[in-house]
Structure 1
Amino acid sequence: MAESYGNQRNRKYVITNRHHFEVEVSNTVLDMQLQELGSRFSEVSTSLIENMSGLNPCNSFAKFDISKIVKFSEMYPNDFNKEERGVLAGDLSTFYHTLKEDDKFANLTGLSDLARVMVETRKNETFPLVYRTLKLALVLPVATATVERCFSKMKLIKTDLRNRMGDEYLNNALICAVEKESFCKVKEEDVMARFQAFKNRRGELI
């Protein structure tokens, strides 16, 4: 790796193979990966996921954090008004001390288990604000992944050569691209039968 890289006659400084792969290749690839991660996981998404972790029930609620959960609710102004956010902190404290004394909440492995046991024990009716926060946390990963998939596919479908694509056609193309697994299950015979059932055109195509 200590040998000179390339033709040194046309270079002002001597570059070794090690310097080329560590600086010019490796750093360039790392920068590209960091830019891709930064575009996919924005600051808002990262804050949502970080604050959502305050509801983690694993290890007997070892990571339960009321301040993070309250910040999580503040990021949903349409679901929590100012009064409800003020009450939520007190409800979370009571909720935490209540669950610590209940054996049914001792060995939970995730948010879905917490929501299930809350419904079974009717704690969702006792702590409606906590349960509403939990439902938003459960929906967040699915919603975030779906939105990211749609934007990624849209970059591939609506290119510079197809920038005049209408909204309806774009929507149909996105559905086919995002739900590719579902469309693979559709039989070709069914598609042919559907098109054959359409009414005849006014003019014949030559």
Structure 2
Amino acid sequence: KRVVSGVRAKTFLDTVNFCDQNLFPNIHILLKIGTVLPVSKASSERSFSTLRRLKTYLRNSTGEESLNGLALLNVHRDIDVSIEEIITAMSKAPRKINLIL
């Protein structure tokens, strides 16, 4: 590594490259951790916004457990879910009401 005076790093990765691991081991570790941190918090804000809209719409018509499940489905809608797995899981669960014919 080299010591350059008067040169400012333009990116976070430049700072990691300029930091001498032997002289500043703890700072170097912190900088490496900083390179993998997310730059924005948009996904968490989007989740809270979605949850707020969903709660407003469904608050009076569903229970808390159903509301949480719907919120998770909406936030994680990019995950593929197998219909067969859902049917199998629901068929094994006990019914909340007994249907009398």
The TM-score bracket by the shorter chain reads 0.5 to 0.7
- Which amino acid in 2 is paired with 1:186? V
Q: Structure 1 unaligned runs (5+)? A: 1-52, 65-91, 99-122
Indicate the structure with greater helix content. 1
Structure 1 residue ranges, 4+ long, deviating more than 6 angstroms after superposition: 163-166
CA RMSD of aligned residues (A): 3.7
The answer to whether the 8 A contact 2:50-2:71 is kept is yes
1:153 Cα deviation from its structure 2 partner: 1.0
Higher relative contact order (CA 8 A, sep 6+): 2
Residue 158 in 1 paired to residue 55 in 2? yes
Separation in structure 1 between the aligned mates of residue 63 and residue 97 of structure 2, nearest angstrom: 24
Per-residue deviation, 1:194: 1.4
| 1:80-119 superposed Cα distances (whole Å, 9 cap, x missing partner) | xxxxxxxxxxxx8xx7264xxxxxxxxxxxxxxxxxxxxx
Letter in 2 for 1:96: F
Name the count of aligned residue pairs.
92
1:175 aligns with 2:97: no
**Distance in 2 between the 1:169 and 1:200 partners?**
15
Quote the Cα distance in structure 2 between the aligned partners of 1:205 and 1:167: 26
Q: What is the alpha-carbon distance in structure 1 between the residues aligned to residue 71 and residue 50 of structure 2?
A: 7
1:153–1:177 Cα contact (<8 Å) kept? yes
Relative distance call for 1:97 and 1:174 in structure 2 (3 A) is closer
* Distance in 2 separating the partners of 1:199 and 1:97: 60
Contact 1:55 / 1:134 at 8 angstroms: preserved in 2? no
What's the TM-score once normalised by structure 1's chain length? 0.34
Q: Is the 8 A contact 1:158 1:165 kept in 2?
A: no
